[in-house]
Amino acid sequence: MKKPAKPARENISPSDLTFGLSTCKRCLWVKYWYKVSAPMVMPLVGTLSSLQEEFFQRADMPTIDPSLRPGTVTKWSEFVKSKPLQINGQDTRWRILGKYDLLSTNDDGTTGLIDCKVSDSQRDSGAFYSPQLEAYAYALENPAAGKAVTVASMGLLVWKPTHTVGEGSANSGFGVAQKYVAVERDHDNFMRVITDFIDVLEGELPDAGSDCETCRFLSARNALDNL
Ligand code: SF4
């Protein structure tokens, strides 16, 4: 596969810092140079996230978690785009572009960033999602346009379905256990991750991984065409 003169997209999605680098990097490279991605089948994810975000619009931050600075959720589901990312003091062609879930305006003028999840995964840890949230923070603190803000706190707001509630077909639902997982600011780690990420993108097409179900399926499927 030849590398085009220019990438098909130069905006890095924050979620690719969580999931893209942890597996094979070949599909990541193809996504940015050719804008071709494997289709994702995630029924209900969008609906559940919207319901959860809606629930916290205009929420008082300390009611979400007592550790949070006094403030109110004032923005939600907005795109943020950064200035060009700098590596070793030099502008690259790459920027961060993503849509955050919740943003607070704190009484002291700072901002709190919250990423909502409906999940029962063991990996909902601050360390796992740190580069993704730092990417949003980078875009908010270094915006392509508009006023920069200071992100004083970042965290995951996790809803884990645990039981059923209500009675009858019109009034039943899932009950959840809610937890707020604070994510420590770690700009140095973000810079390490984003530097690796850009190195992968600027390099040649990486080899395919050895244990990817999708790649195994594609190889088996393509072999059938040659029978
Ligand atoms: S192993 Fe194949 S399908 Fe899986 S991520 Fe890599 S290139 Fe993509």
DSSP 145: S
Q: What is the mean pLDDT of residues 154-168?
A: 92
Residue 174: strand, helix, or coil:
strand
Q: Is the CB of 212 under 6 A from ligand 1?
A: yes
Using the predicted structure, report yes or no on whether residue 11 has a pLDDT greater than 80: yes
Sheet containing 111-118: give its strands across.
Answer: 71-76, 102-106, 111-118, 151-166, 172-183
Q: How far is the CA of 19 from the centre of ligand 1 (A)?
A: 13
Q: Give just the sign of the alpha carbon dihedral 118, 123, 125, 126.
A: negative
Q: Is the CB of 21 under 6 A from ligand 1?
A: no
Nearest to 11 by CA among 96, 83, 79, 93: 96
Residue nearest to atom 2 of ligand 1 (CA): 215
- The ligand 1 atom at the shortest distance from the C-alpha of residue 27 is 8
- Strand (E) or helix (H) holding 196: helix 187-202
Using the predicted structure, report yes or no on whether residue 20 has a pLDDT greater than 70: no
Q: What is the mean pLDDT of residues 15-42?
A: 85
pLDDT, residue 121, reads: 82
pLDDT, residue 1, reads: 83
Q: What is the mean pLDDT of residues 191-203?
A: 95
pLDDT, residue 103, reads: 98
Q: How far is the CA of 34 from the centre of ligand 1 (A)?
A: 15
Confidence of residue 187 (pLDDT cuts 50, 70, 90): very high
pLDDT, residue 101, reads: 96
pLDDT, residue 204, reads: 94
Return d(Cα 84, Cα 171) in angstroms, integer: 49
Using the predicted structure, report yes or no on whether residue 195 has a pLDDT greater than 90: yes
Q: Is the CB of 156 under 6 A from ligand 1?
A: no
Q: How far is the CA of 25 from the centre of ligand 1 (A)?
A: 7
Return d(Cα 34, Cα 74) in angstroms, integer: 37
Q: Could you read off the pLDDT of 205-219 as tens digits, one per residue?
A: 998 877 788 888 888
Q: Is the CB of 59 under 6 A from ligand 1?
A: no
Given the structure tokens 């970042």, which residue do they identify? 154
Ligand 1, pocket-test mutation among 21, 24, 37, 210, most atoms within 8 A of CB: 24
> What is the overall mean pLDDT for the chain?
92
Using the predicted structure, report yes or no on whether residue 225 has a pLDDT greater than 80: yes
Q: What residues have CB less than 8 Å from 78, skipping those under 6 apart?
A: 99, 100, 103
List of domains in the chain: 11-221 (3.90.320)
The answer to whether the CB of 167 falls within 8 A of the CB of 226 is: no
Using the predicted structure, report yes or no on whether residue 22 has a pLDDT greater than 80: no
The answer to whether the CB of 83 falls within 8 A of the CB of 95 is: yes
Name which residue leads in pLDDT, 60 or 22.
60
Q: Which amino acid is at 29?
A: W
Nearest to 205 by CA among 4, 85, 29: 29
Q: What percent of the chain shows pLDDT beyond 90? A: 71
Q: Could you read off the pLDDT of 35-94 as tens digits, one per residue?
A: 998 887 777 888 888 899 999 999 999 999 999 999 999 999 999 999 999 999 999 999
Q: How far is the CA of 92 from the centre of ligand 1 (A)?
A: 26
| Burial group, residue 137, by CB count within 10 angstroms (0-12, 13-18, 19+) | buried
Residue nearest to atom 3 of ligand 1 (CA): 215
Residue nearest to atom 8 of ligand 1 (CA): 27
Q: What is the mean pLDDT of residues 194-210?
A: 91
